[in-house]
Structure 1
Amino acid sequence: MAPSKTIYTGPFVHSRSLKELEIVEKGAIGVDEAGVIRFIERGDEVGEEKRPEGWEDAETVAVKGEGFFFPGFVDTHTHAPQHPNTGLFGKTTLLDWLQTYTFPLESSLSSLSRAQHIYTNFVLRTLSHGTTTCCYYGTIHVPATNFLAKLCHERGQRAYVGRVCMNSDLSPEYYRDAGVDQAVKDSRESIEYIRSLDPEGSKKGEAIVNPIITPRFAPSCTSDCMAQLGALHRETGAHIQTHISENKGEIELVKELFPDSTSYANVYDQAGLLTEKTILAHAVHLTEEEKALIKERGSKISHCPASNTALTSGCAPVRELLESGIIVGLGTDISGGFSPSILEECRQAIWVSRFRAMNDGDDAKLSTEEVLYLATRGGAAVVGLEDHIGGFEVGMDWDAQMVRLGVVHGGQKEGEEKLVEGPVDVFGWESAAEKVEKWVYSGDDRNTVAVWVKGRLVHRKDSYEA
């Protein structure tokens, strides 16, 4: 649905900072036809007489019942072709899991019809969970990767879509790039196609779907391949996404494959792949020297707690990363992770931080406020959009979700009570902050009844009423 001038009324919640969550119980947010927030009213400020001229005939969208508006989630790391394998990781660790589950499935997306089937379902699924921006890994196949980008463009989801590069002997013969030249050629072809979806927006840096250079991870690529991809980044200015220090066995493999490098991070740095536009997934076992290098280069981290637990990779020291001055967001890492929901990752991030706290002390714990920041403003900063999305401020885009919570009504007779829709029960005596807590710890996609990207309604449930 095309955006129109709209006023969104009712409670809204967003992160002011890493530590502070603003909860407004009575509010109004005016969004223009371009999907940009033009005014915000809180409490006693709410009223037509205080609004700018020209908003008298604006549409109104109100939160009905218990609920609130919340910024759209940013998923900074996921693998779209692995969606059918969600929840399938058996007893394997990272390297075995790639060979057993991942490579066979990804290779099958040489069939465009198969890719269309998987990608269409996955994009709809991520939108249903309130994910308005998503960093997608594709496969080595250009047609399938281009379809994923086109799909996101048509559905209205912000996305960074990358054709995966993998040319080393670690990758099976049936699923790898033919060589360095082919990897670079196919990556360039995909970059050009994705930018052609919105040529003017791409020139201005305003396109909602953008290409991202994607060396799978260091063991999957030769030094020459990574160096050429670094050159492609400098030529095109496209973002970069890859993995780092996810698993201890992987780190040892990197040492064997790249003996002239001083660290895993140094492998990428030597190739020109460690930049302010680089997203590094996992970062579970970084050394102090690597943290300093990543901070110096301005690269960002995607924390994927569910995947790191599922594959027994470890518990990333998020508090240490944040205190080092490194920007961190959250990623679902499908299908190492078991859910496409960033709200689920908020919970998992809290649990992982508490696992670390059992050994490192309470300072390692992440709060509800902090994980919601990572899920929104943190993720926005990871993809370089912190001035445009992640919160509700005048001049920012309306990337938002309407959250609705179930109200428990007592029956007139014993046994008359019925379960409300969704997993969150509100009895009426909870404070506004407690309602948010209940959503964070118990909510799911059933509570997300509508989703907007840049003012465009991109997902709605049957129960949604404008």
Structure 2
Amino acid sequence: MTTHQNQNQLFVGSFIYSKNLDELEYLHGAAICVDKEGKIVAVERDCDEQTAIETVFPGLGWSADEVVVSVTKDGQFFFPGFIDTHLHASQYPNVGIFGKSTLLDWLNTYTFPLEASLADPLKARKVYSRVIRKTLSHGTTCAAYYATVDVPSTNLLADLCLAAGQRALVGRVCMDQLSPAYYRDDSPAASLAATRASIAHIEKADPGMRLVRPVITPRFAPSCSAPLMRALGDLAKEMPHLSVQTHISENAGEIALVRELFPMESTGAADDSYAAVYDAFGLLTDRTILAHAVHLSEAEADLIKTRGAKVSHCPCSNSAITSGAARVRWLLGKGIVCGLGTDMSGGYSPSVLEAARLAALVSRHVAMGGDEKAKLSVEEVLYLATKGGAEVVGLEGRVGGFEEDGEEDGNVDVFGWESWGDMVAKWVYNGDDRNTKKVWVKGRLVHERK
């Protein structure tokens, strides 16, 4: 595959992207110029390749023979890269394996043994290489990854993302309780030291964090002791350039466990809610990514909004593990920023496009429960998959528009008489990785379907 790295590029054809939550922008017969650093430097309407060469290139100081040109065919369009705001790279081999267990049983039966096994560097390389390749093939140009408790394994994931050209947040999982003795941190101090070591490696591997960033990752409150939660909250305050990722209110049993483990009198929390526990330890900030948020109370949602924390909606895993149906319209109405997560391997698909259509379907189940306004449109789920996700991972203004692009062609039957809005709807409900012909990150071609 030719990567076109460090080359100026011209993209010509139809461009579709989210203008705002409920509106798509359509640019037909347009040209976009991307420089060697992967930045868009010109967007020209009513401009073909020859016009761009004659009128745009001179102003950029570009020579036509040094520019790589990509042009859409009929029925094809450029679309921003998808942003997966929550997935466990280490669980990829278990995709589709749920059993009949609840969340906590599922962790002990399927998840922890697999994650622990990735201390083997050869196995870890095989798993991580495949998940990166697979997510890129589905147009995921930025992913918020959970790795394992193992520092070398976590560092390897970051290195592989960097080599493949995929934007990523990579987190070493922190947990020192309620997990098998063979797979947990020895102490809060050991967990903090290991987290610092992984952060240092990733920041050294990608100075300036142009593609890959470390992320502070308490797995979820029940797996972290109060001293560990407090230490990670202090670390988040010390390193305000880093995001925090964790889980919240995925199912009723988990919520009850949090109340049992973190009584108000021991944490100083404002109440005994899940969100208040994170807040008490300094882990609920405007850089926090909260996965699931299925069973939040009104007070919790208000607290999350006040702190500026963001939500990763994971409709596939919420359904597969029977956690519940998150009320995304309700969250958006409160002003809480939301994106989409595949949550592999709780979720069965590596595709954010699949997450988008499932978000639409889950919203209809919420509507059937009596809230007719809960339904999400095609435009809205695509916004969550791109610009919403960009804000969730702290990359708003940098990705989610045309900093990263994918191209459609394949599994959708287009007859030629559909409107562009109808074609996009067909793509959302029928498309898969076969529709993603090429994927670029920062101007580098990182996936091409032959």
Report the equivalent of 2:206.
198
Q: Is this contact kept in 2: 1:23–1:433, CA < 8 A? A: no
- Structure 1: how far apart are the matches of 2:102 and 2:335? 30
Report the equivalent of 1:269.
279
Once the two structures are TM-superposed, the CA of residue 107 in structure 1 deviates from its matched residue by 1.1
Report the equivalent of 1:399.
404
**TM-score scaled by structure 1?**
0.91
3-state SS in 2 of match to 1:11: strand
- Structure 2: how far apart are the matches of 1:100 and 1:8? 48
3-state SS in 2 of match to 1:390: coil
- Structure 1: how far apart are the matches of 2:258 and 2:228? 15
Matched, 1:258 2:276: no
Equivalent position to 1:317, from 297, 318, 327: 327
Letter in 1 for 2:417: W
Equivalent position to 2:124, from 115, 120, 126: 115
- Structure 2: how far apart are the matches of 1:430 and 1:233? 49
Q: Is this contact kept in 1: 2:249–2:274, CA < 8 A? A: yes
- Structure 2: how far apart are the matches of 1:3 and 1:363? 47
3-state SS in 2 of match to 1:26: strand
3-state SS in 1 of match to 2:345: coil
Equivalent position to 2:221, from 206, 218, 240: 218
Once the two structures are TM-superposed, the CA of residue 24 in structure 1 deviates from its matched residue by 2.1
Equivalent position to 1:351, from 338, 361, 372: 361
Report the equivalent of 1:423.
411
Letter in 1 for 2:184: R
- Structure 1: how far apart are the matches of 2:57 and 2:76? 27
Letter in 1 for 2:372: D
Once the two structures are TM-superposed, the CA of residue 378 in structure 1 deviates from its matched residue by 0.2
What aligned pairs does 1:432-443 form with structure 2 within 5 A after superposition?
432-443=420-431
Q: Is this contact kept in 2: 1:166–1:221, CA < 8 A? A: yes
- Structure 2: how far apart are the matches of 1:436 and 1:62? 19
Higher mean alpha-carbon deviation, 257-266 vs 140-149, is at: 257-266
Once the two structures are TM-superposed, the CA of residue 146 in structure 1 deviates from its matched residue by 0.2
Report the equivalent of 1:34.
37
Report the equivalent of 2:191.
183
Once the two structures are TM-superposed, the CA of residue 50 in structure 1 deviates from its matched residue by 4.1
Equivalent position to 1:299, from 309, 330, 334: 309
- Structure 2: how far apart are the matches of 1:78 and 1:357? 27
Letter in 1 for 2:257: L
3-state SS in 2 of match to 1:348: helix
Q: 1:402 to 1:45 in 2, by over 3 A?
A: closer
Once the two structures are TM-superposed, the CA of residue 56 in structure 1 deviates from its matched residue by 4.7
Once the two structures are TM-superposed, the CA of residue 429 in structure 1 deviates from its matched residue by 1.6
Letter in 2 for 1:446: R
Report the equivalent of 1:417.
none
- Structure 2: how far apart are the matches of 1:45 and 1:113? 48
**What percent identity do the matched residue pairs reach?**
56
Once the two structures are TM-superposed, the CA of residue 173 in structure 1 deviates from its matched residue by 1.1
Once the two structures are TM-superposed, the CA of residue 95 in structure 1 deviates from its matched residue by 1.0
What aligned pairs does 1:61-460 form with structure 2 within 5 A after superposition?
61-168=70-177, 170-199=178-207, 201-202=208-209, 207-237=210-240, 238-260=242-264, 261=269, 262=271, 263-392=273-402, 398-404=403-409, 422-460=410-448
Letter in 1 for 2:408: V
Q: Is this contact kept in 1: 2:151–2:194, CA < 8 A? A: yes
- Structure 2: how far apart are the matches of 1:143 and 1:12? 41
Once the two structures are TM-superposed, the CA of residue 374 in structure 1 deviates from its matched residue by 0.3
Letter in 1 for 2:107: L
Once the two structures are TM-superposed, the CA of residue 44 in structure 1 deviates from its matched residue by 6.3
- Structure 2: how far apart are the matches of 1:198 and 1:96? 37
Q: Is this contact kept in 2: 1:3–1:457, CA < 8 A? A: no
Q: Gapped runs of 5+ residues in structure 1?
A: 393-397, 405-421
Report the equivalent of 2:46.
43
**TM-score scaled by structure 2?**
0.94
Structure 1 segments (4+ residues) deviating >3 Å? 43-46
- Structure 2: how far apart are the matches of 1:333 and 1:223? 26
Aligned length: 434
Q: Deviations over 1:288-310 (max 9, x none)?
A: 11111111111110000000000
Q: Deviations over 1:307-329 (max 9, x none)?
A: 00001100000001001011000
Letter in 2 for 1:401: G
Letter in 1 for 2:190: Q
- Structure 2: how far apart are the matches of 1:334 and 1:44? 41
Q: Deviations over 1:52-99 (max 9, x none)?
A: 523451331111242100000000000001000000002222111111
Letter in 1 for 2:213: N
3-state SS in 1 of match to 2:118: helix
Once the two structures are TM-superposed, the CA of residue 42 in structure 1 deviates from its matched residue by 2.2
Once the two structures are TM-superposed, the CA of residue 265 in structure 1 deviates from its matched residue by 0.5
- Structure 2: how far apart are the matches of 1:374 and 1:194? 27
- Structure 1: how far apart are the matches of 2:157 and 2:206? 15
- Structure 2: how far apart are the matches of 1:453 and 1:20? 24
Q: Is this contact kept in 1: 2:12–2:48, CA < 8 A? A: no
Letter in 1 for 2:369: N
- Structure 1: how far apart are the matches of 2:400 and 2:55? 26
Query: Over aligned residue pairs, what C-alpha RMSD do you find?
Result: 1.3
